[in-house]
Structure 1
Amino acid sequence: MAPAFSASADFAVDKAAGQACENLLADFRCGIHDKLRERGFAGCTVFDCFGAGQQVAQVTFRGEDWRQAPGTAATMFNSFTVMRQLHELLWYLTEALTRHVPSPLYTELGRALTETERLTEQAPDDLVALDVGAHRQKVNVLLLPVSELVRAGAPGRRPDRGGADLIGKDFRGADLRGANLRGTYLIGADLSNADLRLADLIGADLRGADLSGADLTGSIFLTQFQLNAARGNSDTTLPPTLRRPSQWSTSATGPAPGRPAV
């Protein structure tokens, strides 16, 4: 209900925010869940709300049904938009706290986590009024030094391509250890057999990127949502907290080619 999408390779139809998907059943299940890709809804198979939907429906609105109480619908869907961002920040902060960082920074990360959790517990109107962008910025100030500390563990040159437009680029076998790929556009990029160990991938757009055979060991701020949107195979090495998407190929890759310059 809450998100909008447009007819594209990911979605078969247009849907406005707050409009029911044509496949939504009366019991809130999806009518084509087992054949989403075949029916043109591949985008649904990669979406991850970080648990924000459950939080809004079951906690913020205490199980209230927007169909039975339509007056709550607009506030509920607007709350979800904010909640998803807060839950994404919880993911990043939780991961940051697993890294080896100096004690003062660890303390600040813990405080930010507690504050973010408090914000998720607010009443609907307070959630909608929250300046979530300002809170994201405060958290990002803490995540940046964590990224720098983690990436400093990578040997040699650590490429800085943060925010770059690398759509469709060829990085087969590239040495991207410790790379800064924050917010980088890697849509459709070929990262097969690339070495992405200790790379910062926060906000990187990996839709359709080929991660077959890539090594993502120790990469930081990578989410399940990003992996779901990418392509990979059984040779892709993932951090232990993430799962291999079911739609990924199981075929092995060939020998890694030479590493091109980045």
Structure 2
Amino acid sequence: MTDPVLIERDGAVAVITLNRPEGRNALNVALKTALVAAVREVGADESVRAVVLAANGPAFCVGQDLAEHATQLASGGGAAAAISTVRDHYSPLVRGLMTMPKPVIAAVDGAGVGAGLGLALAADLRVFGAGAKLGTAFTGIGLTFDTGLSYTLPRAIGDARARELILLPRMFGPQEAIAWGITGEIAEDPGARAREIAGLLAQGPTTAYGESKRLLVDVEALEAALEAEAVSQERSGSTQDHRDAVEAFLARRPPMFTGR
């Protein structure tokens, strides 16, 4: 089997690569588990002074693997088992990326949707491909924020725009993202440019970078947001609307919401 996550070390730079290109890096349990382990590994490795988060294939990450999610919803554990991934995987990922004492640069090409957008915003810097397609997508399947987006998105683009993007979950491009305040740059080869930036940062004052990140992240607020996301997803994930919307997505038909 192909490893779902690859770790490459180039001097003081570590590159974490999502490696499920055939599934557009949709986050199934194997990928999420490996990604949590990879983030913890490079975060604790003192020889690593900068990190790149990248992906193989045509998409950065299209979020939760809904086919696997539907199977979990239908299992004996039901919604509780399916939504436990927020506490088990998504929150630890965001916590690890945002609090590791070294810079993280996300190379985002293709789709970065739902949790994929959350991972990109959990990084310190972003490099986008010109054709990147971004979006929240959660309410389209009867869910709400996870992967720290309730914390990162309003801080990046403001409360009003964040409300628009969760209530009207349209896709947007990198030009819009940058104009709104999701800082980053657009490059022909996002992965190569992200490695270049990481190489420069790896030569910088690592302790100062780490302390700067610590000061910029309100850890208590982040933890409160992650816990609130988990509780809200448990409520949303228990609805009939969510179950029906996942089935509709997999059947490629529009969802019908009833508010239940």
**TM-score, normalised via structure 2 length:** 0.26
Q: Which has the higher contact order (CA 8 A, sep 6+)?
A: 2
* More helix as a share of residues: 2
**TM-score, normalised via structure 1 length:** 0.26
- Structure 1 or 2, whichever has the larger Rg, is 1
* More strand as a share of residues: 2
